[in-house]
Every structure is written in structure tokens, then in C-alpha cells.
């Protein structure tokens, strides 16, 4: 196994901050996506706006997806910053 891969797994195993950042990124991404799907599934309009219901639902769903993706990416960037800092500390 290459040295950089061994070093990566070593730092990952020792750093709880990196582990929590990765776990929280995935969990919050899934939670926001599921919450958005649930909120859009219960979305209804009345009267003449009924025709626009699907358009608004898709727009809201895309907003939830963007928020979930931003959360996911920001936690992974945080994990990368923690990795760089802990690599210097452990190595």
C-alpha cells in the first residue's frame, strides 16, 4: 500500500474532528433532502393557482437540494482543513 494512503488512514483514524465532520456532512445532507421531499410532498395550492402547484413544488425541491449540497460540501471542506492541520500535528 502506498505511503500516502497509509498516512491518510492513520490521520483519519486518530482525528475525531475529521470523523465527526464527515459523518455530520453525510447525515445532514440526507436529513435535509428527506425533509425537503416531505415538505414538498404535502404542498398544495387552491383555486386558480392549482395549475402552478407542480412548478412551485419543483422549485422548492431544487432549493432544498442546493441547501443539502452546500451543507455536504461545507462539512467536507471542514474535514479537509482538519486533515491538513492534524497531518502536521501527527506527522
pTM of the model: 0.82
- For residues 87 and 68, what is the distance between their CA atoms, to the nearest angstrom? 28
Domain ranges of the chain: 17-88
Residue 90: the pLDDT is 81
- Residues recorded for the chain: 91
What's the pLDDT tens digit per position in 34-62?
999 999 998 888 988 888 888 999 999 99
DSSP 8-state code for residue 50 = G
Instruction: Please enumerate in sequence order all residues whose Cβ is within 8 A of that of 2, keeping only pairs 6 or more positions apart, or say none.
Output: none
Range of weakest confidence among 9-13, 20-24, 42-46: 42-46
Kindly tell me if the per-residue pLDDT of 1 is higher than 80: no
Amino acid at each position: 500500500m502506498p505511503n500516502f494512503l497509509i498516512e491518510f488512514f492513520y490521520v483519519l483514524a486518530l482525528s475525531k474532528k475529521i470523523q465527526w465532520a464527515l459523518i455530520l456532512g453525510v447525515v445532514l445532507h440526507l436529513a435535509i433532502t428527506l425533509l425537503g421531499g416531505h415538505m414538498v410532498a404535502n404542498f398544495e395550492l387552491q383555486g386558480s393557482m392549482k395549475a402552478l402547484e407542480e412548478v412551485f413544488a419543483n422549485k422548492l425541491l431544487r432549493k432544498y437540494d442546493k441547501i443539502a449540497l452546500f451543507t455536504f460540501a461545507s462539512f467536507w471542506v471542514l474535514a479537509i482543513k482538519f486533515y491538513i492541520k492534524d497531518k502536521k500535528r501527527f506527522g
